[in-house]
Chains A and B, each alone.
Chain A
C-alpha cells in the first residue's frame, strides 16, 4: 500500500518532447513507471522514443491534448514539464481532462497564475502536487518526478517535504539504515501549492501501510503549523519533523519563493514550537533525521509492545478475577445470566 501513485498509475507526460521532459521520461520508464502517453501540442499522432542524448526503452504515443491521452490510453496521472510561462495552462488542461492527480515539476510559475489555477482545481476537484517540486514516488512501484530512484527503498515511512535535495538527503539517511518508505512527496517551495502538508498528512494517516511520518518544512507561511494542529488532534502514528532555515534572516527570499519570513511570521522557531506542542519528534539538525526516526520507531514499537503486554496482563487478571467471581457466583446462585455473559466473552 501507498498513497496517490502505485502499480496502477497510468502516466501521461505533458511536455514530453522538451529536454527536461525527455530526460526524466527516460528515467521514469527505467524505474518502472507505466508511462502510457505524452502530450506536445502539434506533435500528436507520432511515436516518441527520446532524442540523441536520451533514448527510451520503449516508444511512447504522443497526443495533441491531454483529453485524447485520457480517452485513448486511460491515463490517470499527469506530470508537467512545460515551461513556466505555459505551465498554468497545461495544469488547467490536465484538470479539465479529469486525470486524478497532476504533478507539476515546473519552477518559476507566477504566483498570480497559480492563484487562478488553484481556484480552477478546486472547482474541478482534481488534486495537484507542486509546482516547483521533485514529485512523488512509491518506491519499487512508481516514480512520477525528477528524484533519483536508486536512493529509495520500499517500506513503511511516509515522507513529506517542501524541498528537493533536502528530501533526497532525508530519504538517503533512511535507506542507509535499512528503513524503507511507503511514499515520498515533495510538495514544492512556492507560496501557492496544490497539496499542502496537512493534505499529505491526512493521506498518510489513513494509509495502513504507513507506520511513521517525516515532515520536512521550511521557513515562511503557516502550513507546518496547520499540519501540526491536525496531527495533535488526529494522528496516532509517530511523526518526526524538521524545519530548514533556522539561520535565515527576515525579509530575504531563501531561494524558494515561499521561503521568506515576513512581518515576523513564519520563523523556524515558531514552527518548531508548534511541532513540539503537537507531540512531533523535533530534529534540529538535518543530519539526524534518519537517526531520530530509527529511535522513534524502536521506542514506539517498545511502547506498543508494552501496551499490548500490559493489556494482555490486564485481561488475564480481569479474567482471573471474573472466574473467581463466577465460581463464587456459581456456588451461590445458579442463574443462567452468568453463563450467558461468559459465552459472550
Chain B
C-alpha cells in the first residue's frame, strides 16, 4: 500500500526521525493558515500525489511571503500533475503539504527495502541525493553504499556509522546522521514497510539531518496488524474500477489494451495476458478471480471488465484443479444472463469436469466461443478482435 508524503512524515516523526515542520492543506485558505502557523519567512508548497518526480512536473514550489503561498497553492491545487510515474494522463492534485524552508548544505539519499537476492532488508545510502536513484544505481553503482540488516538483531550502530562515514559526514552531522538511520530502520521495521525512501536526505547548514521527502510503502500482507496505516489509504489515488473490484475480493488491475480477461491464479492470469498480446491484441486488465470462482465472482468480474469502454473481446481462462469447471461454466452462464454483454466472449475451461462444462456452455443458448486449449483460445481471440 502507498501513502502520501505528509502521512509518511507523520509516521517518521513518531519514531523520532527528524522531518521539517509542515501541515497538510485541502484548500488554498487552509494552506495560508498552515503557513502562518508554521511561521518563518520561506515556505515550500508541495503537491501530494502517489507518484514521484513531482518537482520536475511543477508540483513543488517555493514561496517567500504569505501572498506567494496563496498564489503557489492556488496554482498547484487542482492541477493535473504529469510526472514520469503518473503516465501521460497525470493525476489531479487534491492535497498540499506546506513546509518550512531549509538552509540546505547537502542533499543525500537513504533508502531501506527488502533485498530479495539474500532475503534480508538492506539499507542503502548515497551522496547522489535529489536525483533518480535508479539512474545512479545503473550508471555509478559504486556510489551506492549498502548494509544488510540481520533479521533477528536489527540494524547495528556500526553499520549506521559505516554508512555515515561513507557519506563523508563529520561533526554534528555525523552524530545526527547515525541517529537518523537507526530511527529510520526502527520506523521501517515497526510498521512492516516494504520501502522507506528519503530522497533527498538533507544536511542543513546548522548540521541537522532531516528527511526533506519521505516515500513509504507497506507490505499488504502485514496491514492486518496496522489498522492506523490502513486508515491512511486514499481511494482518490486509486483507479475506481480497482477499488470496486477489491470490494468483491477480486484482484483487478486496469491496463490500456482492448481484450479483457478473467483468469484463476496470478501466474496464469499473467500468462493469459501474454497470450492476448501474441494473438495481436493488448490486455485491458489483469484479473485474478482466485481459487473459488463462482457465479458471484464471475458476475462481478464481468461487470468490472465491461465497464472499460476499450474492451473489444473478453477471454475467460480457468484451469479447474480444485475448482470444478462445470460450476464455473454455470456461473458464467448465469452471469452472462444478468449482465448485458455486447462483445465476443472466448471461454477456455480445462481440468476437472471440463467436458461437462463444455456441454453447459454449448446448451446455454448464449453465443460463447469455446476453446479447447490455450492455443485455440489465442486463435479465437485473434479472430474475435479482427471481426
A residues sitting closer than 8 Å to B (CB atoms) are 23, 27, 84-85, 108-116, 118-119, 146-148, 150-151, 161-169, 172-173, 189, 191-192, 216, 218-219, 221-223, 226, 242, 244-249, 251-259, 263-264, 268, 284-288
Q: How far is the CB of B214 from chain A (nearest CB, A)?
A: 18
Q: Which of B150, B251, B257, B271 has the most CB of A within 10 A?
A: B271
How many angstroms from the CA of A284 to the CA of B133 in the assembled complex? 32
Counting chain A CB atoms within 10 Å of each CB, the highest count among B224, B255, B268, B375 belongs to B268
Interface residues of B in 58-89 (CB under 8 A from A): 85
Contact B319 A169 (CB under 8 A): yes
- CA distance in complex: A162, B116 (Å): 14
Q: A109-B221, A164-B267, A247-B276 are in contact. Are A148 and B119 (CB under 8 A)?
A: no
Indicate with 1 or 0, residue by residue over B194-235, a CB within 8 angstroms of chain A CB atoms. 100000000000000000000000011110110000000000
Contact between A287 and B321, CB atoms less than 8 A apart: no
Instruction: From A148, A165, A249, give the contact of B268 (CB < 8 A).
Output: A165
B134 within 8 A of A: yes
Whether A255 touches B351, Cβ cut-off 8 Å, given contacts A116-B151, A222-B117, is no
* Chain B 131-167 per-residue mask, 1 if CB under 8 angstroms from chain A, else 0: 0011001100000000000111000000000000000
The 10 A-B pairs with the shortest beta carbon distances in the complex, nearest first, are A163-B267, A255-B266, A165-B265, A110-B222, A166-B267, A148-B321, A287-B374, A286-B271, A244-B270, A165-B268
Which B residues are in CB contact (< 8 Å) with A151?
A: 321, 351
Name which residue of chain A comes closest to B120, CB basis. A115
- Provide the bound-state CA to CA distance between A249 and B284, in Å: 12
Residue B30 CB within 8 A of the other chain: no
> Across the interface, do B266 and A254 meet the contact criterion of CB distance under 8 Å?
yes
Residues from chain B with a CB closer than 8 A to the CB of A287 are 275, 373-375, 377-378
Residues of chain B contacted by A251 (CB below 8 angstroms): 85
CB neighbours (8 Å) of B335 from chain A are: none
Q: Which residue of B lies closest to A194 (CB)?
A: B119
Residues of A near B351 (CB, < 8 A) are 148, 151, 168, 172
Cβ-based interface call for B253 (8 A): yes
Cα A118 to Cα B121 in complex, Å, equals 12
Q: Are B274 and A264 closer than 8 Å at their CB atoms? A: no
B322 within 8 A of A: yes
- Determine the distance from Cα of A242 to Cα of B326 in the docked complex, in whole angstroms: 29
Q: Which of B119, B134, B151, B288 has the most CB of A within 10 A?
A: B119
Residues B269 and A255 in contact, CB atoms below 8 Å apart: yes
CA distance A115 to B264 in the complex (A): 28
Complexed CA–CA distance, A280 and B282 (Å): 27
Contact of B308 with A by CB under 8 A:
no
CB-defined A-B contacts under 8 Å, sample of 24: A85-B224, A110-B192, A110-B225, A111-B221, A111-B222, A119-B152, A148-B321, A150-B352, A163-B266, A163-B267, A167-B267, A168-B351, A172-B319, A245-B270, A246-B277, A247-B276, A248-B270, A248-B273, A252-B286, A255-B269, A255-B270, A257-B221, A264-B138, A285-B378
Closest Cβ of chain A to B221, distance in Å, is 5
What distance in Å separates the Cβ of B48 from its nearest Cβ neighbour in chain A?
18
Q: Determine if A248 and B268 form an interchain contact, defined as CB atoms under 8 angstroms apart.
A: no
Report if A247-B255 is in contact (Cβ < 8 Å); known contacts: A286-B274, A287-B373. Answer: yes
Interface residue from A110, A147, A148, A226 paired with B221 (Cβ < 8 Å) = A110
CB <8 Å contact, A114 and B119: yes
| Residue with the greatest number of chain B CB neighbours at <10 A, chosen from A114, A226, A244, A253 | A244
Is there an interface contact between A259 and B114, defined as CB atoms closer than 8 Å?
A: no
B121: chain A residues at CB < 8 Å are 112, 115
For the complex, give the distance between the alpha carbons of A151 and B264 in Å.
Answer: 17
With a CB–CB cut-off of 8 A, which chain B residues contact A223?
Answer: 116
Interface pair B278/A148, CB less than 8 Å apart = no
When C-beta atoms are compared, the residue in chain B nearest to A265 turns out to be B134
Q: Is the CB of B194 within 8 A of A111?
A: yes
**What separation, in Å, do the CA atoms of A23 and B291 have in the docked complex?**
14
Scan B235-276; emit 1 where CB is below 8 A from any A CB, else 0: 000000000000000010101010000011111111111111
Q: How far does the alpha carbon of A248 sit from the alpha carbon of B274 in the complex, in Å?
A: 9
Instruction: Tell me if A259 and B319 are in contact (CB < 8 A).
Output: no
- Distance (whole angstroms) from the CB of A165 to the closest CB of chain B: 3
Pick the contact of B322: A85, A148, A166, A219 (CB < 8 A). A148
In-complex Cβ contact of B321 among A111, A118, A165, A244 (8 A): A165
Q: In the complex, A146 Cα to B150 Cα: how many Å?
A: 33
Q: Does B334 contact A (CB under 8 A)?
A: no
Q: Return the contact of A285 from the options B120, B253, B265, B278 (Cβ within 8 A).
A: B278
B137: chain A residues at CB < 8 Å are: 263
Q: Does B357 contact A (CB under 8 A)?
A: no
Q: Is the CB of A219 within 8 A of B221?
A: no
Chain A residues with CB below 8 A from B268, complex form: 163-166, 169, 244, 286
When A163-B265, A264-B134 are in contact, do A259 and B270 touch as well, CB less than 8 Å?
A: yes
A219 to B269: give the CA distance in the assembly, Å.
13
Task: Assess the B116–A258 pair: CB atoms within 8 A.
Answer: yes
B221 A161 Cβ-Cβ under 8 A? no
A169 to B267, CA, bound (A): 10
Nearest chain B residue, comparing its CB with the CB of A219: B270
Q: How far is the CA of A108 from the CA of B221 in the complex (A)?
A: 5
A51 to chain B, nearest CB (A): 16
Which chain A residue lies CB-closest to B274?
Answer: A246
Determine the chain A residues whose CB is within 8 A of the CB of B49 once the complex forms.
none
Check A168/B319 contact, CB under 8 A, given A110-B221, A162-B267, A247-B274. yes
A291: nearest residue on chain B (CB-CB)?
B375
Distance of A245 Cα from B117 Cα, bound (Å): 20
A residues in contact with B253, CB < 8 Å? 252, 254
B283 touches A84 (CB 8 A): no
Q: Which of chain A's residues have a CB closer than 8 A to the CB of B347?
A: none
Residue among A84, A219, A223, A245 with max Cβ neighbours from chain B (10 Å): A245
Q: Within 8 Å CB of A191, what residues of B?
A: 114, 116
